[in-house]
Chains A and B, each alone.
Chain A
Amino acid sequence: MLVYTFDKTLDGILSAVFDAYSLHQCPDALVGKGEPLPLFCEEVHEVVTSDDRVQRVWAGLEKRVSKEAMRLLAVSYLSELSELDTPLFHYIYKVFQQAEGARSIERNFSDPDVLAVTNIFRKVMHERLRMMQFVRFQKAKDGTYLGVVSPDHDVLPLVVHHFQDRFGTQPWLIYDAKRRYGFYYDQQEVTRITFQEEETLPFDLENGKLNEEVLSEDDKLFQELWRTYFKAICIKERMNPKKQLNDMPRRYWKYMTEKQ
């Protein structure tokens, strides 16, 4: 079994494709550097990521597959799932294997690699939707709206545009408590930010609540109003906790006002 090790980035995977073609071989699996190798692994090749190679492979891909497929490849990588590495590599490898002008494999869902990458892409997009649904803002005294989340996949870059479009008239900060970074919008542009010292954070990473002293005065009232509304809108005769959990899994509840 032939295994490539890489630096766990999308660039690493693209470099691996370059290496595979220049060495005239196709590895059976891609493994992150420092991770345990699979059993019966006879040969290991270490992929060195290089910008030049990445660009050549990316440019080659652009020629061979549609824009949607390029987006699919890039977005699926935000899943941060290690089981994506090998199918994603094989997907890209197969794209280059095809003859010029042949029908692109991007719609061949009977191919296990294409299907696996597509399914992971779907998962990421679903998580993106959930961010649009479940981010809850609290208003700080200075007028900034803060929302804390901890998504399974690294989807914040995918929702920034939506929030910028929707809340263009208010400054906001959406912070990913799991990956320790966030996006701040100052009514002009969005910047990616990280906090240097976590002790001085004005909010609790556990439940996303703003500290009392920075929370604006009327925010408590609106939270209470929202909770009241949430309780009132439920029809008791139709109780269906199973469906509720299905559509709104418990892992999102800790940051949601109505469930706190």
Chain B
Amino acid sequence: MLTEKTLEKLRILAESAKYDVSCSSSGTVRGGKQGMVGNTVGGVGICHSFADDGRCISLLKVMLTNFCMYDCAYCINRRSNDIKRATLAVHELEEIVMEFYRRNYIEGLFLSSGVVRNPDYTMERLVAIAKDLRTVHRFNGYIHLKSIPGASRELLSEAGRYADRMSVNIEIPNETSLKMLAPEKDHQSVFTPMRFIQQGVLENKEDRKHLRHVPRFVPAGQSTQMIVGATAETDRDILHMSSAMYNQPTMRRVYYSGYVSVNTYDPRLPVLKQPPLVRENRLYQADWLMRFYQFKVEEIVDEANANLDLEVDPKLAWALRHPEQFPVDINRDDYEKILRVPGIGVKSALLIVNSRRFNRITSYHLKKMGVVMKKAKYFITCHELTDGYANPIVGINELHPERLKPLLVSKAQQKKAAAELQLTLNFEEEPKEE
């Protein structure tokens, strides 16, 4: 039976888990089954609520316990922090999941844990809960399990039978920085479980070709997360790491988490007045460019531009660096080229290539289809803009990028970017002694 104590435990453990970004319930379509509770819808998943910080609540994101034997500088649950600690009993957690799910509060469970005793012990308990939910409670909804770095292969392959998605967080893209902040961790302990899961998924795929009833293994693939702004890595380092991740066949999402100063007393960490939200947003935009807009990571960031421009989004920044690619002819050029025009998204690009088989598309049509003409007009031609002398074209090549950029950046954007830039500068001057 649940009591008032459970309420307090849930509060403590949710607060400990909230810095993990991943919350999506995407990636698997699994219809309801006779006698089982729930299904998964696939697509982009379902967000059941949105917290006051605007983040989606899709899964019950909670830790089994926030006791932890590690002392990672960026983590709220580090051993040396004096915070309230709690552990949820297995039956409590399972009852909460089932009752929340039946009330349509959540899509499923995102279960993580502090490391107690040793990685295998902790992982075993996570797996036991996932197994219980599936076999005893007949739960058919979404389960996201965190794999504990250093857990054994046997445990991971058991976990994969019950979980929809598994994740291990890289946290810091550079191993030396990771070693500095989290002396007990290294990249090896992250990549090993990742490789295990990937091998499991690929083997399972092969098995299912021969025997259709073989249960699926981690059907929604893996995800990972990197902390932004806690160490000196540039956006280029971060994005190269994500690009390498996306080259793995089972990696579905890389999340970026703007560092929230949770342990202000630690001299190894920068003191930020607010998390670097603009930078985080730009990284997500760059991530989208790689996943949906067919950009290569080298196009988004290079040696000269190791950090993303905070004032303009990465797609516009790319366009401003490459005036020779424009104007794009809306009525003739390939879908891939149209996709690269600032102000045109996947949705409007599809509308354009479908409609132009019927008649010539004009800027009037574009506006109606939802293209942001305020931006796009400098980068496109649909032949009506070019006619005449009275109405000369004013595109990126006529205006030149340096004169165009101020036209496209609003005052508010400039302000936001400037505020954040100042904050990151502080961190170089951080005293190293103590």
A-side residues, CB < 8 A to B, are 103, 105, 107-112, 115, 129, 132-139, 145, 147, 162, 164-170, 218, 221-222, 224-226, 228-244, 246-248, 256-258
Contacts and interface: CB of A to CB of B under 8 A. Distances in A.
B355 A235 contact: no
Given A166-B39, A167-B102, A224 B53 contact: no
Given A168-B32, A242-B54, 5 more contacts: A110-B358, A110-B361, A134-B49, A225-B100, A241-B54
Contacts of B61: 233
Contacts of B358: 103, 105, 107-108, 110-111
A157 to B, nearest CB: 18
B52 A234 contact: yes
A169 B18 CA distance: 31
B260 A235 contact: yes
Interface string B13-27: 011011100000000
Contacts of A234: 18, 51-53, 55
Contacts of B53: 234-236, 238-240, 244
A233 B18 contact: yes
Contacts, number: 164
B90 to A, nearest CB: 17
Given A166-B32, A169-B35, A244-B51, A229 B10 contact: yes
A225 B54 contact: no
Nearest to B350: A109
A167 B51 CA distance: 25
9 cross-chain pairs, A with B, having the tightest CB-CB distances, nearest first: A243-B54, A240-B54, A232-B14, A165-B32, A234-B51, A108-B358, A238-B53, A110-B355, A107-B354
Nearest to A114: B355
Given A107-B354, A166-B32, A145 B102 contact: yes
Interface stretch (B40-48, B119-127, B171-179): B40-48
Interface string B394-410: 00000000000000000
B365 A110 contact: yes
A135 B51 CA distance: 16
B410 to A, nearest CB: 16
A230 B57 contact: yes
B368 A112 contact: yes
Contact of B354 (A108, A138, A221, A244): A108
Contacts of B100: 222, 225-226
